[in-house]
RNA sequence: GGCCCGUUCAUCUAGGGGUUAGGAUACAAGAUUUUCAUUCUUGGUACAGGGGUUCGAUUCCCCUACGGGCUACCA
């Protein structure tokens, strides 16, 4: 199955983007450049309630600054346009319907209150993690439990509903991760995830699979937080009959806070006096590593090393060297802690590599500003 | 709690059945320097614990501990 290599970076425009997102984009980019594939920028804005104006621009600008270039995407178009999921809205419904027809999905009419009641009831009964699964669905308000007439009546009635995946019972789901090797799950442990929301939008789980299929994506490179839902995605590919063109998966280790526990978050920037973002994000009063004086080449060099290494003693890499050296096999499995001190060292090394002229050019805007200020004072 | 993933110096990591367990950052000490997000030298610190397998495990297997992720009509 030798298909042209196509990868995508698919962020959701929910706010300022940090190191982790750019690193994901970078690994996508490095691999594509190395093997001569195409890189796509797709915006996953299926959750209208979390949409943040300007976030999309921010993603595009951060990538541009870091030198991550796309071949297709929201900002440049391409053969699979549109690349914004909200603009592809009409497309998803028919795929959800297809799954219902095949008996792999069903309508569910449960209200948020009913869902909560179900969870509370189960927790009282000693189940710490209530799930809408192959057992629960039998006594909920859905087209599996309800009579055909009742279901039809409700739909005619205009009752809001979602479409859920009908996860089979006791089936082994196994897939090969480029970084972790074989990962196995049992479908009985998986819940009936919502594929299509009552507001007419698909969830990530549906939109992601459908778009990756439609856009002929060959490799899905994303953060480790997606690993638990990967089996649901694999199952979805199977239900559609798309196994033969299912992309390979690479789940990246998380980037951890400089101190303490947990993955890197927005607050860490201010807390450690060392912003994590690559561009200014005025609305939130956060300035980035760019404003801090970081060179793009130092930034990507450092970020590439958060989880990946070339296996040699070389640490300072140009963009081209990074592309040549990169491979998924050399990405580690454990989370990497972000170390501001080492980041600074990388920047220093790259500054030293710059010629006097290049440095002068970089300094120019700052000097001009100072001169302007001085003349203003003098006059 | 359940499921999944992980665990080599303080940090990023290399390595891998027999090594003085290597490098880098940071740190410490010293030297050089009119200035510097200089430079040089030296130094200390690591295979989570317990069982196997083996002539021999840091490396392979199992268990425990610890860490992390997920557990939404969020991505």
* pLDDT tens by residue, A67-94: 999 999 999 999 999 999 999 999 999 9
pLDDT surpasses 60 at A273: no
Instruction: Compute how many other C-beta atoms are within 10 angstroms of the C-beta atom of residue A369.
Output: 10
| Chain B bases near protein CB atoms (7 A cut-off) | 1-8, 11-15, 23-26, 37-39, 67-75
What are the extents of the domains in chain A?
Answer: 6-75+253-378, 88-252
ω into residue A98 within 30 of 0, thus cis?
no
Q: Can you tell me the ipTM of this complex?
A: 0.92
Q: How many residues does chain A have?
A: 379
CB A230 within 8 A of CB A175: yes
- CA A186, CA A180: separation in Å to the nearest integer? 18
CB A161 within 8 A of CB A115: no
Could you read off the pLDDT of A276-304 as tens digits, one per residue? 677 777 665 666 788 788 999 999 999 99
| The domain made up of A6-75+253-378 is a member of CATH 3.40.50.620 | yes
- The enclosing H or E element of A182 equals strand A181-186
The label of the residue with tokens 């009419």 reads: A109
CB A165 within 8 A of CB A187: no
pTM exceeds cut of 0.80: yes
pLDDT surpasses 60 at A368: yes
CB A36 within 8 A of CB A5: yes
Across all strands, nucleotide nearest A293 (CA–C1'): B37
- CA A36, CA A298: separation in Å to the nearest integer? 24
Across all strands, nucleotide nearest A260 (CA–C1'): B67
Strand B and A159 CB separated by under 7 Å: no
CATH topology of domain A88-252: 3.90.800
The label of the residue with tokens 């195409």 reads: A38
Question: Please, which pLDDT band fits residue A372 given cuts at 50, 70 and 90?
Answer: confident
User: Rounded to 5 degrees, what angle do the CA atoms A18, A64, A208 make?
Assistant: 65
| pLDDT of A275 | 61
């Amino acid at each position: 199955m030798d298909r042209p290599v196509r990868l995508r970076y698919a962020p959701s425009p929910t706010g300022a983007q940090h190191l982790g997102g750019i690193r994901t984009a970078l690994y996508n980019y490095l691999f594509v450049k190395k093997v001569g594939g195409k890189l796509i920028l797709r915006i996953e804005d299926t959750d209208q309630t979390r949409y943040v104006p300007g976030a999309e621009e921010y993603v595009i600008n951060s990538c541009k600054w870091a030198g991550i270039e796309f071949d297709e995407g929201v900002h440049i178009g391409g053969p699979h346009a549109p690349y914004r999921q909200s603009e592809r809205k009409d497309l998803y419904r028919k795929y959800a319907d297809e799954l219902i027809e095949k008996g792999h999905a069903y309508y569910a009419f449960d209200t948020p209150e009913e869902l909560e009641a179900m969870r509370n009831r189960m927790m009282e009964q000693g189940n710490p993690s209530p799930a809408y699964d192959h057992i629960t669905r039998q006594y909920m308000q859905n087209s599996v439990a309800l009579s055909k007439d009742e279901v039809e009546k409700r739909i005619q009635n205009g009752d809001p509903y979602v479409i859920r995946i009908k996860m089979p019972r006791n089936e082994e789901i196994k897939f090969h991760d480029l970084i972790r090797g074989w990962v196995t799950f049992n479908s009985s442990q998986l819940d009936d995830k919502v594929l299509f929301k009552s507001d007419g939008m698909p969830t990530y789980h549906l939109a992601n699979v459908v778009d990756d299929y439609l856009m002929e994506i060959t490799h899905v490179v994303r953060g480790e937080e997606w690993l638990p839902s990967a089996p649901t995605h694999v199952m979805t590919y199977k239900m559609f009959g798309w196994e033969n063109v299912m992309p390979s998966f690479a789940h990246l280790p998380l980037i951890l806070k400089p101190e303490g526990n947990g993955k890197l978050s927005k607050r860490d920037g201010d807390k450690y006096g060392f912003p994590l973002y690559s561009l200014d994000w005025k609305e939130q009063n956060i300035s980035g590593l760019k404003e801090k004086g970081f060179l793009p080449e130092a930034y990507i060099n450092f970020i590439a090393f958060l989880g990946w290494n070339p296996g040699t003693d070389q640490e300072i890499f140009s963009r081209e060297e990074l592309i040549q050296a990169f491979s998924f096999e050399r990405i580690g499995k454990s989370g990497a802690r972000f170390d501001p001190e080492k980041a600074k060292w990388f920047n220093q090394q790259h500054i030293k590599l710059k010629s006097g002229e290049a440095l002068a050019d970089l300094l120019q805007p700052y000097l001009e500003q100072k001169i302007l200020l001085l003349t203003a004072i003098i006059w």
